[in-house]
Chains A and B, each alone.
Chain A
Amino acid sequence: MTADRPLPYGDPAHLAAHQFLVEEAALLDAGDYAGWLGLLDEDIRYLMPVRVTTGRGAGFDSLADMGHFDEDLYALRKRVQRLATEHAWTEDPPSRTRHFITNVRTFRNGTATLRVESALLLFRSRGDTRAPDLVSAGRTDLLRETADGLRLARREITVDESVLRTQNLAVFL
């Protein structure tokens, strides 16, 4: 059912999807993870496959059975709960993050679902003296139109490095 052309940039559905992603990024950069959980649908699947370096003819460039993330709502809630404890040392002091979201394209996906592709550049600074980390990724999201507004039902993060250069993924992408 996926349309093969993105909606025009002036389409209200595209504008709503774009705004959703930007507002979501603002919550993440503010460390408002409880607010962020509120944007997720009950059956969220949050996925980040391990990217691998393969030849052009290999037919695959990520692992089908291993991710950096493969989360349901329980797992994401646990991660958020952990960050809210007094003992999540890796994020205390917290990272300063900036989620740069761009190249947003919205596709109508059935009657009440949008597929949204975006590019993400995460800037992450830890401590006062360490070199910052960058994580570049593409994202493909399914946004569900609900009575309460758009909700994220699925996110697949296609990271652009096969070897991550950040000490952990104690952050969301």
Chain B
Amino acid sequence: MRQPDLAAVLSDVRSGLIPAHVYNDPEIFALERERLFSQAWVFLAHESEIPAPGDYVVRRVLADSFIVARDEGGEVRVLFNMCLHRGMQVCRAEMGNASHFRCPYHAWTYRNDGRLVGLPFHAEAYGGEDGFARQGQALLPAPAMARYNGLIFVSLDPGAPPLPEFLGDFAFYLDFYTRQSPAGVELRGPQRWRIKANWKIGAENFAGDSYHTPHTHASVVDIGLFREPTASKRKEGALYTAGPGAGTTYKLPAGGDFASGLSYVGYPDAMIGAMARAWSAGQRALVGDSGFMVSAATLFPNLSFVHNWPQIDATGTVVPFISLRQWQPVSERETEVLSWFAVDAAAPEAFKRDSYKAYLMCFGSSGMFEQDDVENWVSITDMAGGSMARRLKLNSRMGLTSSGRPVKPPMTRFAGPGTAYQGFGEFNQRHWLAQWSDHLEAGPAR
């Protein structure tokens, strides 16, 4: 893409007018690969997916396949899944337990910490260490790897800022989804499926689109599955941006406190006590004093979260669930969705069972919310690939006056960090798109 064209696109995006073709444009996708995914911290896996030595899962950052393994010493390793010799994948399963990975091509063998330990006919073929120094050879590690609450992130940029610096104020919100007790969260799954949609649409939607909920998800209100997402309730929620993340909340019933708010969404007393101990005063205040419960969120670039509390049986039992999901780009017009069910590791077994049921009914490959979301996103992507889309700028200025000021001022009574607005607005999507624009503007990785 020519530089003046890119500059015009990014200028439009920053003004809240999105050239529609960015949702299905191979040149934009190439820039995302070169300038965004080459640098950003990207989620790969959670430690609970590889609890024992030898456990591994294989995950990707775009086309790059990584083995995320727990080695024999218990350390988490992220290894580029390509043999040093001829480049074959040393692991072609997506999960399992192995002390070593042996390349099927010439049997070069690596321990699960990445070290090369087997090289057939080393002496005869190479003349031993002189011809090929086996000592110190290892599968390429991810250029940068770091963890938060057991979430394993990598960056392809060895000079990436430290993960805590990157997460910044969003860590405050991340704890609601991934640290409800000192035991932390456990992930199950993921369900994986491919959709003919651009990856950005889901990321933006989860970041802040409370406006779509009353209409896109009208059917789940119609059938009494989830009582909240009516327009009258959704517009009482707060939208927040914090660090590289942004999310939506629901307003809890007035007059409640920390415990009653969590009880309202279906948490049992034992879990509420654990949350009170696990969370900071500020985190407790967001629920107890400000009266907001987190719902959807996105951590830039492509990891999203959702926390809802549907009715899971005919007697109206309300049970909350958490899902983590990744929008893994395949191309400008296709995305692989990875959707995990997440639950506090210390939660009672009965709660885990019910929460899993709540998740399956609402989100994931068969979820009744997700079904309608994906239909929208596929349709948008389809339209964005044509020539008329290059003449259309999608209005993403909700919540702003013509002069660019917020229609309503930011909230002052919101206990979380960052900036929050109550009611409908596209503040969060613009916040996500501003980061996207920064990456596309910045040029190739160092």
Contact = CB atoms under 8 A, between A and B. Distances in A.
Asked if A pairs with B, the answer is yes
A88 B374 CA distance: 12
Interface string A73-97: 0110011011001111111000000
A69 B372 CA distance: 17
B222 A82 contact: yes
A148 interface: no
Interface stretch (B150-158, B361-369, B402-410): B361-369
B386 to A, nearest CB: 12
B171 interface: no
Interface in A38-65: 48, 50, 52-55, 58, 63, 65
Counting contact residues on chain A (CB < 8 A from B), the size range is: 35 or more
B361 A167 contact: no
Contacts of B341: 66
B21 interface: no
Contacts of B96: 54-55, 58
Given A67-B360, A167-B375, A85 B218 contact: yes
B193 A89 contact: no
Contact of A82 (B95, B192, B219): B219
Contacts of B220: 82
Contacts of A74: 312-314
Contacts, number: 122
A88 B372 CA distance: 7
B403 to A, nearest CB: 36
B94 A52 contact: yes
B360 A75 contact: yes
B189 A78 contact: no
A164 B189 CA distance: 14
Given A54-B93, A82-B223, A163 B194 contact: yes
A137 to B, nearest CB: 13
Interface string B428-446: 0000000000000000000
A21 to B, nearest CB: 21
B371 A81 contact: no
A48 B365 CA distance: 11
Contacts of B370: 168
Contact of A89 (B312, B365, B366, B376): B376
A162 interface: yes
A34 B336 CA distance: 33
Contact of B374 (A48, A75, A90): A90
B166 to A, nearest CB: 29
B191 A87 contact: no
B374 A85 contact: no
Contact of A70 (B97, B215, B360): B360
A56 to B, nearest CB: 9
B223 to A, nearest CB: 4
Contacts of B218: 85, 87
A48 B370 CA distance: 17
Given A58-B93, A87-B372, A170-B371, 18 more contacts: A50-B190, A52-B94, A53-B93, A53-B94, A55-B93, A55-B98, A68-B364, A68-B366, A70-B356, A70-B357, A81-B222, A82-B368, A90-B372, A163-B193, A166-B193, A167-B378, A168-B374, A170-B366
Considering the complex of A and B, which 8 residue pairs feature the smallest CB-CB distances, nearest first?
A164-B193, A169-B366, A87-B218, A90-B375, A87-B219, A168-B371, A85-B222, A90-B371
5 contacts: A52-B95, A53-B92, A67-B360, A91-B371, A168-B370
